[in-house]
Amino acid sequence: MTEQKATNVTWHEGEVTRADRNRLLGQKGATIWFTGLSGSGKSTVAVALEKVLQSQGRLAYRLDGDNVRLGINKNLGFSAEDRAENIRRIGEVAKLFVDAGVIVLSSFVSPYRADRDLVRKLHDDAGIDFIEVYVDVPLAEAEKRDPKGLYKKARAGEIKNFTGISDPYEAPERAELVLPSHQMSLQEEVEALLKLLGARGILPAA
Amino acid sequence: MTEQKATNVTWHEGEVTRADRNRLLGQKGATIWFTGLSGSGKSTVAVALEKVLQSQGRLAYRLDGDNVRLGINKNLGFSAEDRAENIRRIGEVAKLFVDAGVIVLSSFVSPYRADRDLVRKLHDDAGIDFIEVYVDVPLAEAEKRDPKGLYKKARAGEIKNFTGISDPYEAPERAELVLPSHQMSLQEEVEALLKLLGARGILPAA
C-alpha cells in the first residue's frame, strides 16, 4: 500500500470555494424563488426557464413538491408549524445548492411572508442571491384554471386550509420580479427572467 | 405586455432530465459516503478528492457537519431518534444533488448500519449510485490523533454517547471501498477513489 504510483493528480492549496465552483460552471449560483397561488403558473415558468438555461449550458435545478414533499420533508404535514418547517428546510437546501454553484428554481405556494423572508435572510446572511418572483394572477383566474382540481375540492370543503380559499396568501411586498402570467406569454416571462439573471450577473453577459 | 420580442430562446420538448444534466457536466452524479470513527480521516480525504475533481473540471460538493448541522438539521440533537433523522435528511439532500448531476462527498461518522443502509436504499430505489467508503482506522489510532480533543473529553465523561467510547460504531459489511488511512498516503487514497469513480462511469475514461 506504500508504493508510489504514477499520477495525474494536481494538488492545490486551500479548500474549493463557492467562487471556484461558480467559475467552473460559468455562472453564479442563486435561488430563484417562485411564489404565488396554486394554479398561478409557478411550475410552468420554472420548467420553461430550466429548459432554456440547460440549452444555454447552464446548470439549474428545480425544487418542487414532487422532489421535496416526498423526500426531505416527507415527515411534515400541513399545520402552520409544519408549513414553516417545510419552507425553512427548502430554504436551507436551496442555500446548499447555491453554494455548489447551481441556479435553483424553487416553486412552492409559500403563502406566508414571514417564511419567505426567513429564507431571504438565510441567503442574505451567506452573501448569496435570493430572487423572489411573484407569479401574480387574480384568484378568479387561478380558480378558473384549477389544473389539479384542488379549488373545486377546497370549495366543497374537502380540503381544509387551502390558500386563497380558506387560508391567506400574503403577497410579496418587495419581489425582485412580478409576473402576471395571465397577461404575458410564457416566452415573455422567460425573457424577463433571463434579463434579470443577466443584470444580476447570475448569467454571463450575452 | 403582449408584444413579441426578438429572442434567442431555444424551446425543447419535455422536461430537463438527470441524464441531460449529467451530459452537460460531463460526469455522472453520485454520492460518495465516507463513514468512520471521529478522527479517522473522512474529511481529510473528502477535501483532497474535492480539490482533484475541481482541478479536473468536475463538479463536486461536500456535505459535512459544518454545512448541515448548522443549517437543514439545526433543529436536531444527538438522541438516537435525532441521529437517525439527521442521516435520513442528509441522504435525501444527497439524492437531490445527485439528481442535479453533482458528485456528493458526504462525511459523517454515521455509526449505525441501519441508517447508512436506509440512505443506500434511497439511492438504489432512484437508480443512482451510492458508494460507501469505510475510512477504517483502529480506535487507538483515531484516539491518538484526536484532532478536535473529543476523545479526551469523552474519556473524561464530558461527552456522553461518543462513538467508539460509549456508543458503538457498526463497521460496514459491504463498503465499495475501504481506506485504512493509517497505512496509506493521502495521495494513494485519492488515487483509489479516482480509480473507483472511473470504473463506475462516474468520471469519464481518462
- b/e burial code for range A15-49 (CB count within 10 A of at least 16 → b): ebebebbbebbebbbbbbbbbbbbbbbbbbbbbbb
Per the listing, cell 447551481 goes with: A102
Residue B97: which residues within 8 A CB-CB, separation 6 or more?
A96, A97, A100, B29, B31, B61, B63, B104
Query: How many Å lie between the alpha carbon of B106 and the closest alpha carbon of chain A?
Result: 13
B40 labelled binding-site residue:
yes
ipTM confidence: 0.91
CB of A69 within 8 Å of a chain B CB? The answer is no
Kindly give the confidence (pLDDT) of every residue in chain A, 206 residues in length, as a single tens digit, with 9 standing for 90 and above. Answer: 333 333 444 444 569 999 999 999 999 999 999 999 999 999 999 999 999 999 999 999 999 887 888 888 888 887 788 888 999 999 999 999 999 999 999 999 999 999 999 999 999 999 999 999 999 999 999 999 999 999 999 999 999 889 999 999 999 999 999 999 999 999 999 999 999 999 999 999 76
Query: How many Å lie between the alpha carbon of B1 and the closest alpha carbon of chain A?
Result: 6
pLDDT tens column, B86-139: 999 999 999 999 999 999 999 999 999 999 999 999 999 999 999 999 999 999
pLDDT tens column, A91-117: 999 999 999 999 999 999 999 999 999
Residue A100 amino acid letter? A
For chain A, list the domains and their CATH numbers: 25-199 (3.40.50.300)
For chain B, which ranges sit under pLDDT 70? 1-14, 206
CB of B127 within 8 Å of a chain A CB? The answer is no
Spatial CA neighbour of B101 closest among B203, B205, B206: B203
Q: What angle do CA B28, A13, B36 make, to 5 degrees?
A: 60
CB of A66 within 8 Å of a chain B CB? The answer is no
Residue A159, number of CB atoms within 10 A of its CB: 16
Three cell numbers, residue A104:
435553483
In this structure, what are the phi and psi dihedrals at residue A130, rounded to the nearest 5 degrees?
-125, 120
| Beta sheet of B129-135, edge-to-edge order | B60-64, B103-107, B30-35, B129-135, B177-179
Three cell numbers, residue B11:
424551446
CA dist., res. A87 & res. A159, Å (int): 20
